[in-house]
Amino acid sequence: MREALRRGDRALFDLAAERMKRHMEVAWDDVHGGFFRSMEVNGTVSFDKVLWLQEEVLIGMMMLLEHTDLDWPELWFGRTFRYVQQKFSLEPHGYSLWSMGGDRKVTYRPHTARKGNYHHPRHLMLNLLAIDRMTERGGRMSNAWQ
């Protein structure tokens, strides 16, 4: 979608948006919430969840909120944002950091081998910049397609 915006190609943007929607519908865990990273990779079944994937959805949905008048991105953004806050924030456990991933339920683990240094600040900055642009336009859709 970002490349379509750069090129001013509305048809490509719409195609990417529809494909993203389809991927989200397939990858959403109807039992425990959140998006699966994968279900089968190289013959191994895995139902794990990772924060970066949820954040990429938040970026994509914000992009759609900024540049379209579609209804579904708002629903998916809200659903995903609530899930991320509920499952990946370590604040309830006394930490100001975020869990990078986990099992299907994103069960809390007191120790981790790494901290996120890319996707979390990236999603925050991209979405804050989008909100700033939308605020400057008084909430109106962008004029990317004119």
| pLDDT (0 to 100) of residue 44 | 81
Q: What is the pLDDT of residue 113?
A: 73
* pLDDT of amino acid 69: 93
Q: For the residues 65-81, what does the mean pLDDT come to? A: 97
Q: Report the alpha-carbon distance of residue 22 to residue 2 in Å, rounded.
A: 18
Mean pLDDT of 60-89: 97
In this prediction, residue 111 carries a pLDDT of: 82
Mean pLDDT calculated for residue range 81-85? 97
- Angle, CA of 76, 91 and 82, to the nearest 5°: 10
pLDDT digits (tens, 9 = 90+) for 104-134: 999 998 887 777 778 889 999 999 999 999 9
- pLDDT greater at residue 131 or residue 146: 131
- pLDDT at res. 40: 74
**Residue 13 scores a pLDDT above 90:** yes
Q: Tokens 């397939």: give the residue.
A: 26
pLDDT digits 0-9 by tens, 15-60: 999 999 999 999 999 999 999 988 777 888 788 999 999 999 999 9
* C-alpha closest to that of 76 among 56, 99, 46: 56
- Residue 65: per-residue pLDDT: 96
Contacts 24+ apart (CB under 8 A), 105-113: 105/32, 106/32, 106/34, 106/49
Total-model pTM? 0.92
In order of 68, 113, 138, 140, the CA distances from 126 in angstroms are: 17, 26, 19, 18
**What single-letter amino acid sits at 61?**
M
Q: Name the residue with tokens 């509920």.
A: 86
